[in-house]
Structures are given as C-alpha cells and as structure tokens.
Amino acid sequence: MSLNNIWYVLFVVIVAGYLIMDGFDLGVGILHMFVAKNDTERRINLNSIGPVWDGNEVWLILAGGVLFAAFPLVYASLFSGFYGAMMLVLLVLILRTVAIEFRSKRSSHRWRSAWDLVFAVASFGIALLLGVAFGNIMTGVPINEQGYMFPNVVALLSPYALLIGVTTIAMLALHGAIYLSMKTDGDLLARVKRWIPRLLLIFFVLNTLVVAASLLLHEQVSVNYLEHPWLAIVPAAALACVIVAWLMVRRERYFTAFILSAAMIAGLLFSAAIGLYPNLLMSTVDSAYNLTIFNAASAPNTLTVMLIIALIGMPFVLLYTGGVYYIFRGRVQLGPESY
C-alpha cells in the first residue's frame, strides 16, 4: 500500500472521526428546539455536550490541516472554489460557538430563546452545508487544466447535492438523538425516545434515495464496486449497523446503539470513499483534470513525516479522549458551572 493510499484512508478516517464526534453534538443542536421544551431541558441538552463539543470540533481543524498537508492541491482548489460556501460554514461555526457560550450568561427568557434558535439553526446549517459540499464532491466539479474551478453558486445547489444535504441532517439528528438518550432523563428522555424511530425511518428512506440516485445518475461511483464486488461488504456493513441499531434502540440498549450509529456513519463515508477512489475531486470538464490522491498529493518525504507524526500523536488523542468521556459518563445533572 503506497503512502498516498495510506493517507487517503487516514483522511477518510479523520473525516469520519469528525462526523461521528462533532456529529452527535450537531445532532443535539438540530434536535434542540424539538425535544427540549423549557429552560431546564435546554440546559440539559447543552450540558450533555458541554464538556466535549469544543474538543469534537478539533476533528474538523485536523481534517483541514491534514488535507492541506497531504493533498495541498485539493485543499487549494476545494476551499477557493467553494469560497462562498466556506465563508458560510465559518459564519455558522462561529455563531454556534457563540450561542453555546453566551446563552447561559444571562437569565432573561428572550436572551436565552434567541440563542437557542441560533444554536439550532447553526447546527442545521453546518450539517446541510457539509452534506451539499459532499454531494458536489460526489458529482464532480468544474476543475480546469490549472486545477482550479470557477463554479457558480446555483450550480452547487443541484437536487442531488441538496438531497445529500438533507440526508446528512437526518443522519446527524439520529446520531444526536441516540446520544441524548444516554444523557437525559424524565420528560426530555421520553421525547427523545419518540424521535429516534421517526428519525431512523426518515434517514433510511433518504439514504436509500441517495444510494439509488448515485447508482442511476452518477455511474462513475459504481466503477470500483463493479471491478471488485467484494467491496460491497462495506455498504452492506453500514446497512447492517442501521438495522442492528434499530433493534438495540427497541431494547433500550442505547450505548450499543450509539456505537452502531457511529459505525454506520463511518461505513457510509467509506462506501462513498471507495466509489471516489482514487479521485479526490473529479473534474466535470475533462477527466484528465481530475485531482487524485496521486497527482494532488505532497511528496513522499512529507507524507512519511506526517505519518510518523500521526502514529505518535493519535494513540494519545484516542486515549485521553476516551478518558474524558469516561469521566463525564452518565446522565446530565446541572451544577453551578453548567451552561
């Protein structure tokens, strides 16, 4: 396996890490207005992610840094080509941070409801933007000979991309709901429990549509699967995770369901990554202009140094992240320094 392949896998792992870790706190934000009805419940919602959401966002920063270091040409094309969308991502990310931090600082009802709304809308916005961006990556973008694209905003909002955007919202809401079921109590928990089957159904339908649309409209994503049919084990495993997660939810084994929902997110992302391989950005102008993990990568010595850095650093990251989650395990109880 070449360094480029290793870094492709690692990059997908890091993006999956982001979607799983920040995914549940985005999901909590998406559900915020629907499940939590009064100030106490909303505080419990916020505090369920309180000690961890900042750390979860680091996965996004890491994904950005790794893309910059391992595939600088893709980083440059993608970020500059999606300029407006990127600025919107930054806007909603900042608004979300501000909402979480500032909500509890005053006790006025209007102040708090306003920030609740900002928190919820920003969480929706991030999920939608990520999904739409991903949809465009799946369909390809107008990359030219120089490796740059000049897309117009309307073209980015294709029905296919929007479908993936909405599916992402449903997926993260589901993930967040399962997380909340481990963290909440009483009426709030009862409402969360009612949402889980609905979200599962919505997500399942939307995701089936995405798969169908991908196979029918964008046949390039199925080439790798036709060549190596055994790879279908990855999407099959993702499907299995959804089904077993459903069973676990019915048995109220929420921790197992959460692990399965995380595995499902990783499975879906890897299924897409297999479809894209070896492209990172497909050109709709000419496939000769595709940016791949080979022509867009850093040199082997950089990739080697980065690999060493990752091998030293990541075990520690996983170890202490696990430790922190362990310390904050159990259902939320509000205290004097809670949000």
Partner 1 sequence: MTPVWLSRLQFALTASFHYIYPPISMGLGLMLVVIGIIYLRTKDPKWRRMSFFWVKVYGLVFAIGVATGVVQEFEFGTNWAEYSRFVGNIFGSLLAAEGVFAFFLEGGFLGLMLFGGNRLGPRMWLAATAIVAFGAHFSALWIVMANSWMQTPAGYEILPTAFGVQAFMTSFSEIVFTPSFIPRILHVWTSAWMVGAALMLSVSAFYVLRNRHLDVAKANFKTAMPFFVVFSILQLFLFGAAQAEEVAVNQPVKLAAMEGVWEDTSCAPMTIVGIVDVQNQTTYGIKVPCLLSFLAFKDINATVQGLNSFPRDTWPPIKLTFHSYHVMINLGMIFVAIGLLGTLLAFWKQKIWGIRPALWLFVLTIFLAETATIAGWWTAEFGRQPWIVWELLRTVDAVSPNLVAWQIAASVGMFVVLYAILFILFIYLLNEKIQKGPESLEEMEQTPVTSLPDTFRDVFRGRGGRARA
Cβ of residue 308: shortest distance to partner 1, in angstroms? 9
Nearest to 13 by CA among 2, 25, 21: 21
Q: Nearer Cβ to partner 1, position 34 or 83?
A: 83
Minimum CB separation of residue 52 from partner 1 in Å reads: 6
Closest separation in Å from C-beta 151 to partner 1: 9
Please report, to the nearest 10 degrees, the dihedral formed by the alpha carbons of residues 157, 163, 168, 171 taken in order. 170
CB of 57 to partner 1, least distance (A): 7
Decide whether 64 or 197 has the Cβ nearer to partner 1. 64
How far apart are CB 41 and partner 1 at their closest, in Å?
Answer: 15
C-alpha neighbours within 13 Å on the C-beta side of residue 219: 3
Cβ closest to partner 1, residue 61 vs residue 190: 61
- 216 class by beta-carbon count within 10 Å (0-12 exposed, 13-18 middle, 19+ buried): exposed
Please state the separation of Cα 289 from the chain's center in Å: 28
Q: Which is nearer to partner 1, 98 or 240 (CB)?
A: 98
CB atoms within 10 A of CB 224: 15
Q: Which is nearer to partner 1, 87 or 216 (CB)?
A: 87
Quick one: angle between helices 83-103 and 72-81, nearest 10? 80
What CA–CA distance (Å, rounded) separates 179 from 24? 7
Closest distance to partner 1 from the beta carbon of 146 (Å): 7
Nearer to partner 1 by Cβ, of 229 and 330: the residue is 330
Q: Which residues contact 168 (CB under 8 A, 6 or more apart)?
A: 127, 128, 130, 131, 134
